[in-house]
Amino acid sequence: MTRRPILAFLALGLAWTPPAWAGSAASPPLPPDQAQPAATGRITGTVTDAGSGAPVPEAQVSIAGTALGAQTNAEGRFTIAGVAPGSVTLVVRRIGYQEERRPLTVTSGGTVTADVRLAAAARSLSEVVITGTAGGTQRRAIGNVVATVRADSVLDVAPVGNVDQLIAQRTPGVMMLPGTGQVGTGQAIRIRGNSSLSLTNEPIIYIDGVRMDSDPRRGPTQRGGSNVSALNDIHPDDIESIEIIKGPAAATLYGTEASNGVIQIITKRGASGAPQFDASIRTGFNWLQDPEERTGFRYMPDPDNPGQLIGLNVYQNERINGTGEIFGRGLLQSYSLAARGGTDAARYFVSVSRDDDTGIVDWNWDKQTAIRANLETQLSDKMQLRLSTSYNQGETRLAQGSIDTDPFSNLVWSNPRFLNDARRG
């Protein structure tokens, strides 16, 4: 049993033919996975700041789709060796800069020089929330729900005429209660509904960290309970963003008055660079849809025929036999011009705006002129001076100042009995 394998081995040995390299000084060929690689190239270059031309250290430079890469030194230089010949894409990344991609062609045994200039770009690392206190705080450090409304993104897609419309229904849980529809009046704000039956349900409002008196009951009022909102003294084009803290948890930062929530309005500021100008014009109309049908008929007993009724659509009668349509198309106009710019040492934002709105009756109008200037200067490495100032002049006339000038009440309480006197019904 033990001899058969030995005989088989001897038979195999007799049949074996030595290869051509046997007995010579040549080396046996390597397996395919150990074959010598083809000649490679390398990429070298410098990464600098596109604005200042200064070298950018610690930038990550890599070849897309491979594990090859390098990091720039203090002079912004880098070298990547062992790059396979052919077309490759060089990728350069650095926090605070825009990513740069550059196609290159690497030759066998050659060196490609690629000098890259990176453009600065702001990156959102840890969001800072303006709390209205002495300074901002990180979003993750607040135990409240904070929603942010970016004004520019809303203005690009919606015809916003005032701050009420900028806030309305933009975030979950924030509602604007319906108003009268008259120009110049504001809407009540509710965050997560009403919290009290006897106390105020209005959130507190800050503008650039300064609290404003936002109680709508302090402004001019009219019949029907509508109020002029001081919140609409701010032009929407001057706003950068709006931060809304929801729920009673806001009281941990602002006190018990903030149990209804907090709204923080951040206005635009200057930016380093060449002056940038922004002009906008918005116009439109408002009207009451089908007022004649909405008014309907008003009935009364016929004094000449007992037991009979007579009816009258006073709106139709006024249109045909009176002074014409009671309600018209009110023209809405808004114009604004802003400029921003500056340097790293001093930045500015200035704007001027004019609103001229007319309601569905020609004696209801709202005229606003606003001027704003936000200035910043860097006094030292540890001291920065900011100045925010605004001027607003407004004139508002409401449609329901008294019962004699209230067209809505006159239509509701119209009476055919008064058709033939000065009241025309």
Using the predicted structure, report yes or no on whether residue 21 has a pLDDT greater than 50: no
State the Cα–Cα distance between residues 98 and 56, nearest whole angstrom. Answer: 13
- Exposure string over 390-419, b if 16+ CB within 10 A, otherwise e: beeeeebbbbbeeeebbbbebbeebebeee
More confident residue, 389 or 35: 389
Point out the least confidently predicted range of 133-137, 193-197, 261-265: 133-137
State the Cα–Cα distance between residues 343 and 271, nearest whole angstrom. Answer: 7
State the Cα–Cα distance between residues 373 and 378, nearest whole angstrom. Answer: 17
Vertex 166 angle, CA 164 and 170, to 5°:
110
Share of the chain above pLDDT 70, in %: 82
The pLDDT value recorded for residue 417 is: 76
State the Cα–Cα distance between residues 309 and 29, nearest whole angstrom. Answer: 117
Biggest CA pair distance of the chain? 143
Using the predicted structure, report yes or no on whether residue 143 has a pLDDT greater than 60: no
Vertex 193 angle, CA 191 and 198, to 5°:
110
State the Cα–Cα distance between residues 288 and 181, nearest whole angstrom. Answer: 9
Domains and CATH numbers, the chain: 40-118 (2.60.40.1120), 128-267 (2.170.130.10), 273-418 (no CATH)
The pLDDT value recorded for residue 29 is: 52
The pLDDT value recorded for residue 210 is: 87
More confident residue, 49 or 5: 49
Q: What are phi and psi of 405, to 5 degrees?
A: -110, 20
The average pLDDT across 196-217 equals 80
Point out the least confidently predicted range of 5-14, 163-172, 283-292, 401-410: 5-14
Using the predicted structure, report yes or no on whether residue 308 has a pLDDT greater than 50: yes
pLDDT band for position 394 (50/70/90)? Answer: confident
State the Cα–Cα distance between residues 90 and 58, nearest whole angstrom. Answer: 16
- Judged on CB neighbours under 10 Å (0-12, 13-18, 19+), 135 is exposed
State the Cα–Cα distance between residues 358 and 399, nearest whole angstrom. Answer: 10
The average pLDDT across 131-150 equals 61
Q: What are phi and psi of 281, to 5 degrees?
A: -130, 125
State the Cα–Cα distance between residues 145 and 163, nearest whole angstrom. Answer: 21
Smallest CA-to-CA distance from 415 within 424, 405, 404 is with: 424
The whole-chain average pLDDT of the chain stands at 80
The pLDDT value recorded for residue 131 is: 53
The pLDDT value recorded for residue 400 is: 78
The pLDDT value recorded for residue 144 is: 61
E strands present in 298-407: 298-301, 309-312, 330-342, 346-358, 365-380, 383-397
For the segment 315-363, what is each residue's pLDDT rounded down to a tens digit?
Answer: 888 888 888 888 989 999 999 999 999 988 899 999 999 999 999 988 8
Q: Quick check: helix, strand or coil at residue 153?
A: helix
Q: What does pTM read for this prediction?
A: 0.60
The pLDDT value recorded for residue 5 is: 42
Q: Following DSSP, what letter does each residue of 149-165 receive, concatenated?
A: EEHHHHHTTS---SHHH
